Amino acid sequence: MKLTVRLRGPGGGKPAAAQSLEVAGPWKKYQGRLRLPARRPAHDAPFRWEIEVSGPGTVWLDQCFLWPADQLDGWDPDVVRMVKDSRLPLLRWPGGNFASGYHWKDGIGPVDDRPVRINRPWNMPEPNHVGTDEFMRFCELVGAEPMICVNAGDGSPEEAADWVEYCNGPATSPMGRLRAANGHPAPYRVRYWEIGNELYGRWQIGHCTAEEYAERYRRFAEAMRRRDPSIRLIANGHDLSWNGVLIDRCSDLLERVSVHTLIGGGMPPDRDPTAVWRLVVGYPWAYRHSLEALARQLRRRVPQGTVAVTELQIFTNRPNLPNNGGLAEALFWAGVVHTAARLGDRVELITHSALVNHGGGLRKVRQVVFGNPVYWARRMYSTQPGRWPVPVRLEGPAVSAERLHNLPALEAAPLADVLALLDDAGTTLCLMIINRHAENELPATFHFDGFTPATKAHWQWLTGPDVLAANSLDEPNKVRPQEKTVAVEGQRLRVVPPARSVSVIRVPAAQARRARGPQLRPVSAGGPGRRQSYSWQKPHAKVLPTGDLEWQPEPFVFEPGRSVRYIDFETGDDNNDGKTRRTAWKHHPWDPNATAVAARCRGADTFVFKGGVYYRGALYANQSGRADEPIRLTGDPTWGDGPPVLCGSEVVKGWTRGVDHPDIPEASKVWWVDLDFAPRNVWLLAENEEVTRIKLARTPNWEITSPDDIKSEWWTWKNPQKPFDNYVEIAGGRRHLAFDKE
């Protein structure tokens, strides 16, 4: 029996390409190639795919795939290129509502053997062509970190734990062996795991009460962490009422809670587009109060807890109103990013909804891939070099607007929203500017303080002809960034952002000199407090991604001088005193390669600020904060590499002797304890403060932490009023035992 496959052009007539195959017998997979002529019809003219059977008999077709020759492991190369060019940092999968009914084992192994299921949330078949391994491959192709939302709807804790092991477990584990059998022996090392999607909603498979979810979260979190204690969990958050129950019942297991911000749903189609524009692009101004309230509530019980915005988009879904496919989404998204940046470490991550076709992002129509306006805004932001927030004092017009349907009212929302970031080298200042006005340009003058700019800057902006501006198959570049060079006059820069625009201006420092970034000064401070040294017994401080040290209102005083040491792994010299950048050390004191002055400095009582600055001894602050407004100590980002890290030690009790893992030498002599954090080192501290490092084995990697690991630091634990059971007797002397903790 002959089976012929054809591609016929839009005008009919002779096929553009065809191939015939002889088919017979039982189930079998057939492959062929169709070659199209170089001359093609217009991009909006569809081809017709035809399958014809000739001869007596019946042919059953299970699955038919039509792959373009340039596909990348099944992925569209245009999508891969555009996502990669946008430097998307994090990609959430598999959903969304779909996640609450998705069973991940349906999507592994040979594609031909995978079952077809019903996608209940969206009422369509799910062929499971894209599963865990395909998703990980896509993340690898585009350079994004994967984040997985597990099925806490009709799924089980055991299923979720197996998924963690499949992604992160060694190839010797049961699920790791399965992953290796599927062609991926190396773990994927997925860090972020979200437990459930919108389970508070009646539209969700497995929806439940807050009390039921708290119990469900506990079972899932405990099961998943047993497979990999290092994973970062995101609880299914909602409003203050829902989150309050979750926090009360699970504060010991919480790290971060999600929030989904989909605005404008159900908006009547007869509303004025400009009125809707004003409220959706101004929404981030009011949104800050919601995020602050969620974070404040969480941190009363979980001091290091953060908010994760895991879904975000305008949800009007009306072509005659501002929607997620148009320019409004670009300004809305940028405004939320500005708001989150101003909240410091309280908002840990944002994942926009969604990547292709569903919501904002990319569009693919008849094999043509183009970017929605929000794609270009995200690309402008992610490709600018700024990382360190710089204070901005803004003076300008504001707007107020009444509530419309379910969009909240605006009260004195600035028409201009400005975020300023300094790059790692301190040589470029980036200004992100949103002009929310629907009709008018907004002349702006920037005055620089503590930064000497060059004479020219690079300005890139995104705008459109009206509030409904969007890209389409016919006009894929209608809304796309424009750019030009602008003059800087001394310490002043003047630009005129057009109406309805997002701008990124890169201002280089004069003669490539390093900008004077934020120096060590307190901000967001309350009244003065009494002098009191920092102790690790009460973990006051933490380091924000922005480079700030933040602590709660207990008095906390910083004294510069002898407590500061600098380490430069590339150009330092251990013979120097390490007290300035020009005389930096090459090794930290407890590095086996340390020599001279560096080697003579003990490794106890160490505070680390990884902007290249290491604080030794006690750390103080000279002001106190309020209960809802912590103090921050801002570090200098112009020297040193990498994000700042504050490292310390924690007393750990409940040790047990003897382990049964075959890879650990002399297992019967090894002490072990279960931890809820990922340790770096173990150390012993004698009464004379002599430091001894202890080899540390941790699952699933038994390798000892490198001595060049900057996070391998420690403090002395000092609490003479409280007896410890975390010490050992060595050579007649008592030595205290503790862990390094991130």
Query: Which carries the bigger pLDDT value, residue 642 or residue 38?
Result: 38
DSSP β-bridge partners for residue 657 = 671
Phi-psi map region of 269: left, alpha, beta (phi>0 left; psi -120 to 50 alpha): alpha
Same fold, 73-254 and 420-459+473-512: no
How does 121-131 read in b/e, with b if 16+ C-beta sit within 10 Å? beeeebebebb
* Residue 247: band (very low, low, confident or very high) from pLDDT cuts 50, 70, 90: very high
pLDDT at 703: 38
Residue located via tokens 């000497």: 452
For 92, the token pair is 């959430």
For 544, the token pair is 């924000």
What separation, in Å, do the N-terminal and C-terminal C-alpha atoms of the chain show?
67
- The whole-angstrom separation of Cα 632 and Cα 305 is 17
The answer, yes or no, to whether residue 82 has pLDDT greater than 50, is yes
For 591, the token pair is 């590095």
C-alpha pair distances (Å), 742 with each of 547, 644, 648, 649: 15, 12, 7, 8
HSE-CB for 477 with a 13 A CA cutoff:
2
C-alpha pair distances (Å), 174 with each of 224, 242, 698: 15, 36, 19
Query: Which carries the bigger pLDDT value, residue 742 or residue 441?
Result: 441
Q: Which of 430, 438, 418, 420 is nearest to 457 (CA)?
A: 430
Mean pLDDT within 53-63: 89
Which SS3 state, helix, strand or coil, does residue 307 take?
strand
Mean pLDDT within 12-35: 90
The answer, yes or no, to whether residue 171 has pLDDT greater than 90, is yes
Least confident range from 2-11, 74-83, 415-424: namely 2-11
pLDDT digits (tens, 9 = 90+) for 183-211: 999 999 999 999 999 999 999 999 999 99
The answer, yes or no, to whether residue 431 has pLDDT greater than 90, is yes
Calculate the average pLDDT of the chain: 79
The set of residues, in sequence order, having a beta carbon less than 8 Å from that of 411 and lying 6+ positions away, is 286, 400
pLDDT digits (tens, 9 = 90+) for 671-699: 666 554 444 445 454 555 455 555 444 43
* Class of domain 73-254 (CATH, top level): alpha beta
Q: Which helix (H) or strand (E) holds 327?
A: helix 327-342
Residue type present at position 620: Y
Q: Where are the domains of the chain?
A: 2-53, 73-254, 269-383, 420-459+473-512, 540-649, 652-703+715-741
What CATH number does the domain located at 420-459+473-512 have?
A: 2.60.40.1180
The answer, yes or no, to whether residue 514 has pLDDT greater than 60, is no
- The whole-angstrom separation of Cα 198 and Cα 96 is 8
pLDDT at 542: 54
* Residue 354: band (very low, low, confident or very high) from pLDDT cuts 50, 70, 90: confident
Least confident range from 7-21, 244-258, 384-398, 522-536: namely 522-536
Phi, psi of 625 (to 5 degrees): -100, 180
